Structure 1
């Protein structure tokens, strides 16, 4: 491979040193002369650069990758060509790659390894939402720094690995990519989605924990065979001291069938963090009492005072609930972006496609036309009011109930209770990495990717004893005095009696691998992810209602509100009617990352423009202009008592937005 001389100038960049080498080219530390800054410059090998088809794919994928704005993705500055050299420039990260770090340390502490992998998982979710599958996740493509005593990981090599690895095996039989981390479906030449990256990231975590790859083999053929047919060892089999919850997490991430893995990289990352913290994990074999932590005794609550919000103008003030914000419709979690066919709690999707049949029982009509783009000149559909309320680190789920707003904060191991009148939040430590909080029966019910639920008294903030189910839990919601849990390993929905706080053991069979769930009144809607069906359960009778509805492939989220049942996935979104849905019923909404149904409208977070849009319930007509000033941290949102609340995930704040009257 040709290496440029130090001091050579290509594309206005002076080569200062070789930073690394790979199968696609050489990475240099370079100086951008026009801007007087140091950058990383990747120059593609001449063999690939001379292929016209590769060049076009390279440019297209580089543009997509450059659009990624994520704290754990190395930003791409420019893609260009000079004197036959095809190159990318990106931020220069003064750190070490994870491969070198593992070589030096042998293996990492579990919490360090999980923290790094979880950050990379967030980057992958953002990429998958943009339609990019990395396909070459490996330690050498992960750069690690430690500013202010905390790890910060960057995932590199977006924009070229997808297309280069499109065919896993070349005509000469050589595997393109990194055999120690490649997924079985890549080796078999199948179409891949984000779950291939989950497998590769699982290999990375395994190596970071144990100091070796899952399948150390002497020959290429032996490594390929192992990825395809050999059950991956657990970390505890290699390093006995690691025996515990991480074994089950890695077993799932390294499953041979994509359908048996974590649906998203983010889900895997959060599970790894929880397991490394010593928490029980729901998909593990039944845990012994010694593996389960005792009830958490919260530290003194931490308050975050913020400037009170002024009351809304009288003309637009909705009727107020006597005790503050109403509880969100039971079980609803507004933040349900979809990636690779599965709901993602903390990811971002772009360019989603939507469809809206009716709920009257009539069959969907012809495919509707794309929804009109927002009119920037129209009066804004709402305005930001007051100062954002600071909540716990890593907040990404927002709900309401018992007169408060609530967030789940996996980064802080807490939930935040927010008084919307005073603008003050109180952090209530619950341990672990809380993923979802549901309010009902005077308690906040917290699920943190374990097999247990933590009840927290709404008034005092005191955490009660863990309610142990010894089940894999996928989502939670509340209705009719019960906390409902989707249990993918049981193909069923289970429940906890909220009065007694006891796991009932009752299982209501649904389809295969139920996951996303939403509750409207006493009706429970569950997406069965392997069957591509939607099941309905009456929470009063605790029985399935009717036959399941067929859904298009890739549906991974459901949101029910006010008689409308939205389902969504990587291929689109719909309002589920009384008939089956097909992929033909599509409406496109560029930039949409999620939907919050309101009383008379639907709110869309636009991650392309960092705006919120208000649309008619059928998604076809904008109701006012976009709302700006929400920041780049596209997060959850919730409409309560006519007020829209927006969670900015980047800076962990909740902002009040007063809608313009319709």
Structure 2
């Protein structure tokens, strides 16, 4: 079978005009003679006829595309094989490849146009991801834009897409995709995920806004290594700051630092389009609070936990205890720069207060950043604590309630007084004894055979 204008496949699909040639196949404008409508026909290139590997990829593309239904995804109509060559019949999309439009605008496209296209692209990718399909080759050449109809777009070419329940069609270590839009994990030979498509979406966004790609190199390998090692360049300051932050987040090296889904990207873009301040949310990043609440996803909003434009996160870390008993809580490491410090006399090295003493009311950092007594939030009436509903007597700040070792203060003083009396009696005579005892020596005397009354 020689592909040329006028060829009719299976007595139904007539090839009319060659539109484009790709790595695996040729795309033709065709005519469905049975339904009397224009179609796009993708035919496996002649040199790959009978190659089982390429036939498998064509079949996979047909299955993946057939499972998807979205306004921004080119629809699949039919699939067939003839003389060892496969073909796919698809919706004929109007418009031009986005790559051509970018080339014509070296200074970048208007932000409103970029946002409009990116919203449609993100929604289309989310529809694919929801069906377990990862595109793996998101790039301007595979995005068709209809400039005459409000810049509506269609994403095409799921030729190297991969389903989550599909076995690999490539050998281990073989990288699939285009180096300029390859995610770091793909460049390192790891399996692509939906967040890999989010990274490629960020590359497309950067290119649309600036007119050039963020990573370049002398070879495909150099470019792939740049994706892994080099930070993404800064976008111009003239671009909306929220849009700059979003693009920077999508280009984070670690997938967990990117927006958690293509749907999240679309929601952020829609907020920017409406002129609202968006809520940025990244992937599975727990936020641990000192109050013991369950971990939650980290997000950045006014007054909230921030996610930086580079994709790094700041989250409240747990405050370690100095011992197993209730004591002084303190921050360690980078938290010293947070502006929080312990009040005078309280530090991580302070001795552990004895249970039951007034010092039991230690200090901790509240979620608001203010220092407060550890039991203040749960304290009941004076002299009780609200810890687990138990009532406990607290000691007052008087001398009768204090103890030194095994003795109380009054008991210790009495022992000391008796010792003084005995010493004085032995060394100083009865006069000093009675003087200390507060009695007159004329009232009581001592004799060798016992006391006598005068």
Q: Secondary structure of 1:272's partner?
A: helix
Structure 2 residue 5 is matched with structure 1 residue 6:
yes
Report what 1:114 is aligned to. Answer: 115
Report what 1:100 is aligned to. Answer: 100
In structure 2, do the counterparts of structure 1 residues 127 and 255 end up closer, same or farther at CA, with 3 Å as the change threshold? same
Q: Secondary structure of 2:180's partner?
A: coil
**TM-score (structure 1 length as normaliser):** 0.41
Mapped to 2, the partners of 1:24 and 1:221 lie a distance apart of 21
Structure 2 residue 256 is matched with structure 1 residue 254:
no
Report what 1:193 is aligned to. Answer: 193
Report what 1:528 is aligned to. Answer: none
Report what 2:143 is aligned to. Answer: 142
Report what 1:42 is aligned to. Answer: 42
Report what 2:262 is aligned to. Answer: 265
Tell me, which stretches of 5 or more residues in structure 2 are unaligned? 286-298, 318-365, 369-454
Cα deviation, residue 115, structure 1: 1.3
Cα deviation, residue 166, structure 1: 5.4
Mapped to 1, the partners of 2:206 and 2:367 lie a distance apart of 42
Mapped to 1, the partners of 2:72 and 2:242 lie a distance apart of 26
Q: Is the 8 A contact 1:96 1:145 kept in 2?
A: yes
Structure 2 residue 30 is matched with structure 1 residue 26:
no
Match of 1:244 among 220, 241, 246: 241
Mapped to 2, the partners of 1:185 and 1:144 lie a distance apart of 29
Cα deviation, residue 179, structure 1: 1.1
Q: Is the 8 A contact 2:95 2:145 kept in 1?
A: yes
Q: Is the 8 A contact 1:132 1:162 kept in 2?
A: yes
Report what 2:51 is aligned to. Answer: 51
In structure 2, do the counterparts of structure 1 residues 216 and 229 end up closer, same or farther at CA, with 3 Å as the change threshold? same
Q: Is the 8 A contact 1:169 1:187 kept in 2?
A: no
Q: CA RMSD in A?
A: 3.5
Q: Secondary structure of 1:489's partner?
A: coil
Report what 1:550 is aligned to. Answer: none
Cα deviation, residue 247, structure 1: 2.1
In structure 2, do the counterparts of structure 1 residues 71 and 451 end up closer, same or farther at CA, with 3 Å as the change threshold? same
Cα deviation, residue 143, structure 1: 1.0
Report what 2:158 is aligned to. Answer: 158
Alignment of 1:452-531 (within 5 A): 452=302, 468-469=303-304, 471-472=306-307, 489-491=313-315
Alignment of 1:34-433 (within 5 A): 34-46=34-46, 48-56=48-56, 58-106=58-106, 107-146=108-147, 150-158=150-158, 160-162=160-162, 176-236=176-236, 240-242=237-239, 244-275=241-272, 279-282=276-279
In structure 2, do the counterparts of structure 1 residues 341 and 9 end up closer, same or farther at CA, with 3 Å as the change threshold? farther
Tell me, which stretches of 5 or more residues in structure 1 are unaligned? 285-339, 343-448, 453-467, 474-487, 494-540, 544-662
Q: Provide Cα deviations, 1:187-234, integer angstroms capped at 9, x if missing partner.
A: 212122100100111111111111111112232222011011100112
Q: Provide Cα deviations, 1:264-317, integer angstroms capped at 9, x if missing partner.
A: 112123323434666545559xxxxxxxxxxxxxxxxxxxxxxxxxxxxxxxxx
Q: Secondary structure of 1:235's partner?
A: coil
Mapped to 1, the partners of 2:110 and 2:132 lie a distance apart of 33
Q: Which entry has the higher C-alpha Rg, 1 or 2?
A: 2
Mapped to 2, the partners of 1:192 and 1:34 lie a distance apart of 39
Q: Is the 8 A contact 1:245 1:278 kept in 2?
A: no
Mapped to 1, the partners of 2:89 and 2:56 lie a distance apart of 17
Of structures 1 and 2, the one with the larger relative CO (CA 8 A, separation 6+) is 1
Q: Is the 8 A contact 2:76 2:89 kept in 1?
A: yes
Mapped to 2, the partners of 1:271 and 1:229 lie a distance apart of 27
Q: Select the structure that is richer in helix.
A: 2
Cα deviation, residue 24, structure 1: 1.9
In structure 2, do the counterparts of structure 1 residues 60 and 235 end up closer, same or farther at CA, with 3 Å as the change threshold? same
In structure 2, do the counterparts of structure 1 residues 86 and 19 end up closer, same or farther at CA, with 3 Å as the change threshold? same
Cα deviation, residue 253, structure 1: 0.2
Q: Secondary structure of 1:180's partner?
A: helix
Q: Provide Cα deviations, 1:52-82, integer angstroms capped at 9, x if missing partner.
A: 3543453244223212111111100011112
**TM-score (structure 2 length as normaliser):** 0.59
In structure 2, do the counterparts of structure 1 residues 78 and 160 end up closer, same or farther at CA, with 3 Å as the change threshold? farther
Q: Is the 8 A contact 1:246 1:276 kept in 2?
A: no
Q: Secondary structure of 2:238's partner?
A: helix
Q: Secondary structure of 2:39's partner?
A: strand
Cα deviation, residue 50, structure 1: 2.6
In structure 2, do the counterparts of structure 1 residues 472 and 218 end up closer, same or farther at CA, with 3 Å as the change threshold? closer
Q: Provide Cα deviations, 1:396-416, integer angstroms capped at 9, x if missing partner.
A: xxxxxxxxxxxxxxxxxxxxx
Q: Secondary structure of 2:17's partner?
A: strand
Equivalent pairs, count: 300
Cα deviation, residue 158, structure 1: 2.4
